[in-house]
Amino acid sequence: MIIGNPIVEVAYLVAAVCFILSLMWMSHPSTSRRGVMAGELGMLLAIVGTLLLKEVVDYPLIAAALLLGAAIGAPLAYLMPMTAIPQRTAISHALGALAVGLIGVVEMIKLAGHGEGFSFESAALAFEMTLGFLTCTASVLAFAKLQELVTTRPMVFKGQQFVNLAVFVATIGCAVALALNPQSGALLIAFVALAALFGVMLVAPIGGADMPTVIALLNAYAGLAASAMGFALGNKLLIITGALDGASGFILAVIMCKAMNRSFANVMFGGFGQVIEGAAAGEAKPVRSASQEDAALMLENATSVVIVPGYGMAVAQAQHKVAELYQSLTSRGVDVRFAIHPVAGRMPGHMNVLLAEANIPYEKLIEMDEINGDLPTTDVALIIGANDVVNPAARDDPKSAIAGMPIIEADKARTVMVIKRSMNAGFAGIENELYHLDKTHMLFGDAKSFVGGVVKALSGGSGLH
């Protein structure tokens, strides 16, 4: 379809190179902003090149759509709070997949207009639309879950897997039928509806704690859809970009699965995080609680502190207070570092972004594997809004629901402090032995106000010495 206009060909080729460089420069914070610039340049080249194509004639309408998109996109980028990054990512997957899906519909209508029967193009378009529309609705539901417009618990019902399988088979059946017979408008509508329905069914049984994997997987689907479109249109730029995006999504999804010691299948169909009836409500084991002043005293007298943040820190918007605590302790000569579990939060890298926003230097944000060796010699492990990622049952109890999941070994630190609202079980509904250890102090309260109180106690206390 892209007929040999050499200028356009070169523009597309350079754009592809820019995108590759962009990802290459993302490898490290010191070069990453250059990566964004390379990406922007690539995009500019791709768009300008396309506008030069001789079949593109309706400039006013294109300009209007581009301006409208920019007018919506720019405020979205600047006004979005960093705690809402997972939601924004879900919405952008939905929009991207919608665009890809709609392009597929129009191309299919065009094929039908030419009176075509089955062709390679119609097959590629059917594949593209399947991924596009299911990713679109799946992302919308993921957004609703992340924004807590709907319950973050898995939505499950009896026979769900059969219903899902039926919808899946029907969607694929429709896709095949449509590829064989692009003329049928009714088939096209039914197919789009089924693919959209399947997207909803796919995400419905997935709980909030599995969102990092799902978001990464939807990223991969969106990329594959773009690649499929490239095949249908004979456009190498789209194929390359889609493959890069798809690879990125799959790698992130695999990292997330490994960090939970679970398989793709288990995440997608496991219904993890259901409320287990009757469980965890059993006998109340004793815990030791401590006040803000106690916590301040212990932190002040420590040489080394490791802070383990979790989704609870994001929910309480506590990252800025945590940064104050970091400053206060660092200025007293305490070595403070952060231990980041890969699945802490609601998307890959969520905690890093929040802490970076609060001005924590990035070299203090340490990966799980790297920091675990240091924990036995750490004076205080301070856990803020994390639960399952520090649960020693994952390591010690082979019967636990999270058995085998790699954890941050906070229980090995000399003293453990846990900021938590109450003794309710965590997302996975699993009892956490860590809270009942002799060396553990429970700090009950809202993460933001509790950390604020500790900071105050630290600055007030220093005058007395």
Partner 1 sequence: MHTGFDPDLVAVFILAAFLGFQLIKRVSTLLHSPLMSLTNAIAAVAVVGAIIILGEEPSTPLTKILGFIAVTAATVNLVSGFLITDRMLKMFKKGGSK
Q: Any idea which residues carry the catalytic annotation?
A: 388
The distance of closest approach from Cβ of residue 225 to partner 1 in the complex, given in angstroms and rounded to an integer, is 8
Residue 432 phi/psi, 5-degree rounding, is: -115, 110
The distance of closest approach from Cβ of residue 159 to partner 1 in the complex, given in angstroms and rounded to an integer, is 34
For residues 74 to 93, the per-residue mask of contacts with partner 1, x marking binding by CB under 8 A and - elsewhere, is x-xxx-x-x--x--xx--xx
Q: Which of the ranges 69-77, 174-182, 278-286, 291-299 carries the binding residues for partner 1, by CB under 8 A?
A: 69-77
User: Taking CB under 8 A as the rule, does residue 62 contact partner 1?
Assistant: yes
Name the 3-class secondary structure at 62: helix
For residues 145 to 184, the per-residue mask of contacts with partner 1, x marking binding by CB under 8 A and - elsewhere, is ----------------------------------------
Instruction: Report the C-alpha gap between 433 and 391 in whole angstroms.
Output: 7
Q: At what angle do helices 236-258 and 211-233 cross, to 10 degrees?
A: 160
Would you tell me how many other CB atoms lie within 10 Å of the CB of residue 3? Answer: 10
Closer Cβ to partner 1, 180 or 247, answer by number: 247
Name the 3-class secondary structure at 383: strand
The distance of closest approach from Cβ of residue 353 to partner 1 in the complex, given in angstroms and rounded to an integer, is 5
Closer Cβ to partner 1, 66 or 275, answer by number: 66
For residues 9 to 38, the per-residue mask of contacts with partner 1, x marking binding by CB under 8 A and - elsewhere, is ------x---xx-xxx-xxxx--xx-xx--
- Helix ranges (DSSP H) in 234-310: 236-258, 264-269, 292-300
Give, as ranges, the residues between 207 and 246 that touch partner 1 (CB under 8 A): 215-216, 219, 222-223, 226-227, 229-246
The distance of closest approach from Cβ of residue 383 to partner 1 in the complex, given in angstroms and rounded to an integer, is 20
Residue type, 181: N
Which of 66, 150, 166, 403 touches partner 1 by CB under 8 A?
66
Residue type, 160: Q
For residues 90 to 119, the per-residue mask of contacts with partner 1, x marking binding by CB under 8 A and - elsewhere, is --xx-xx-xxx-xx-xxx-xx---x-x--x
Closer Cβ to partner 1, 207 or 242, answer by number: 242
Instruction: Report the C-alpha gap between 67 and 73 in whole angstroms.
Output: 10
Instruction: Report the C-alpha gap between 348 and 212 in whole angstroms.
Output: 6
Which of 145, 262, 337, 350 touches partner 1 by CB under 8 A?
350
The distance of closest approach from Cβ of residue 170 to partner 1 in the complex, given in angstroms and rounded to an integer, is 24
Closer Cβ to partner 1, 148 or 369, answer by number: 369
What are the beta bridge partners of residue 417? Answer: 382, 441
Instruction: Report the C-alpha gap between 406 and 389 in whole angstroms.
Output: 8
Q: Which of these, 278, 311, 294, 305, lies nearest to 382 by C-alpha position?
A: 305
Query: How many residues form the binding site for partner 1 (CB under 8 A)?
Result: 116
Give, as ranges, the residues between 253 and 272 that touch partner 1 (CB under 8 A): 255
Q: Which of the ranges 171-179, 186-194, 345-353, 427-435 carries the binding residues for partner 1, by CB under 8 A?
A: 345-353
Q: Following DSSP, what letter does each residue of 1-38 receive, concatenated?
A: -----HHHHHHHHHHHHHHHHHHHHTTSHHHHHHHHHH
The distance of closest approach from Cβ of residue 182 to partner 1 in the complex, given in angstroms and rounded to an integer, is 13
Instruction: Report the C-alpha gap between 343 and 271 in whole angstroms.
Output: 17
Would you state the structure tokens that stand for residue 85, as one six-digit string? 């990054």
User: Taking CB under 8 A as the rule, does residue 249 contact partner 1?
Assistant: yes
Closer Cβ to partner 1, 249 or 406, answer by number: 249
What angle is formed at CA 216 by the lines to CA 224 and CA 176, rounded to 5 degrees? 35
- 383's CB contacts (< 8 A; 6+ apart) are 307, 308, 310, 390, 410, 416, 417, 418, 419, 434
Which of 117, 361, 376, 460 touches partner 1 by CB under 8 A?
361
Closer Cβ to partner 1, 210 or 431, answer by number: 210
